Structure 1
Amino acid sequence: MTSKTRLNSDLIIRAAVRIADEEGVEALTLATLAQRLDIRSPSLYNHIAGLPELRRLLSLHGLEELRSELLHAAVGRAGEGAIRAMAYAYLGFARAHPGLYELTLLSSKQEDAEWAKVANGIAELVVRALESYRLDPAAAIHTARALRSLLHGFASLERHGGFGLPFDLNESFAEMVGLFLAGLQAQSAGPENGRKSD
């Protein structure tokens, strides 16, 4: 049994992430977590208030991990290079941590200031990568949302077996990102399409 001195929030989060990734979010209960940690379930309440709090903590952890991956991918890059790198980092995170990725979507409540701060940090990374396209602020937000929708849609469909035709998924993803970037370049080509005026 895990001793009390060893049990801490970090250990709990890591074990919960493994369960969510390996067995699915629905398999994550306090009972399965306690079993994974080789402790009694009541011991968990010394560190978390219950399953809802655990899921919120995992959502925050997942967002922070995703932001770190995107930031690392974008370092030293700008414009198309940064967006392409972040797109692949996003998909890589969703593939490597399917359960944790799903949990990042569960606590999207603006009244949760801590969650909103981390989520907004991710949005700001994308908006900064779009600066070279000289979009006005509203167009930049719309474009960032479009990119997120594309990436989440692909990751979700892949996760749930939504692509049945025998074509390479990595090639499909590359085509999708390329089409998005081509459209973005065309959109930013003229001032009438949301480009900042000089």
Structure 2
Amino acid sequence: MARAGLTPERLTLAAAELADELGFDQVTLSVLARRFDVKVASLYSHLRNSEDLKTRIALFALEELADRVSSALAGRAGKDALAAFANAYRDYAREHPGRYAAAQFRLDPQTAAASAGVRHAQMTRAILRGYDLDEPDQTHAVRMLGSVFHGYVTLEAGGGFSHTAVDSQDSWSWVIDSLDTLLRTRTTG
């Protein structure tokens, strides 16, 4: 019988919180069981295994992040949309480092196709419609934006920009301005 009060949703939220506290890679069924003061076996009524737990955290993070980005983008276009999109990702990574890491967790193709990851791609393409890019340039731009934003956020979180007097916010703004300029001046062909 399932322990009273434990549900897959409650366990997922607690695991996401643990990911932010300890790091996504440190979240295990054992750690989660300790959080609820139960034996690991009690969790198997709600979770299949550690992979299931990691997948649930990833799906939760993708959904939460997609909702945040969607709200940030509402009513925006062009550079304003690009900046709102980028800032929503960066802010989420700063506020929820473990959840942000979970959002990068590799999902099987079927799970990925049913996840909020699809919304992320759709929102990126919606921003790029304002730049009038045709294929394959639009796909290249989706990959570029994801790479730049993820790379910047990852380097910043790891202290990669703490060795210089130039403020990382100044660099972030410069990156967004540069991406906007590149996208506006890029011609398909």
TM-score, normalised via structure 2 length: 0.92
8 A Cα contact 2:58 2:105, kept in partner? yes
Alignment of 1:18-97 (within 5 A): 18-97=17-96
Cα 1:71/1:138, change in 2 over 3 Å: same
After superposition, give the CA deviation of every residue in 1:87-137 in whole Å (9 maximum; x if it has no partner): 00010111111111111112244x2x2323422221111101111221113
Gaps of 5+ in 2: none
After superposition, give the CA deviation of every residue in 1:124-160 in whole Å (9 maximum; x if it has no partner): 1110111122111321121111111110001110111
Tell me by how many angstroms 1:4 deviates: 2.0
Aligned residue in 2 for 1:116: 113
Give the 4+ runs in structure 1 shifted more than 2 A.
Answer: none
Gaps of 5+ in 1: 188-192
8 A Cα contact 1:108 1:116, kept in partner? no
8 A Cα contact 1:34 1:44, kept in partner? yes
Tell me by how many angstroms 1:73 deviates: 0.6
Aligned residue in 1 for 2:8: 9
One-letter amino acid matched to 1:184:
L
Q: Secondary structure at the match of 1:32?
A: helix
Moved more, 118-127 or 47-56: 118-127
The total of aligned residue pairs comes to 186
Aligned residue in 2 for 1:171: 170
Greater RCO (CA < 8 Å, at least 6 residues apart):
2
After superposition, give the CA deviation of every residue in 1:42-96 in whole Å (9 maximum; x if it has no partner): 1100000111110011111111111111111100111221111010001011111
TM-score, normalised via structure 1 length: 0.88
Aligned residue in 1 for 2:132: 134
8 A Cα contact 2:55 2:107, kept in partner? no
8 A Cα contact 2:137 2:188, kept in partner? yes
Computed over aligned residues only, the root mean square deviation of the Cα atoms, in angstroms, reads: 1.5
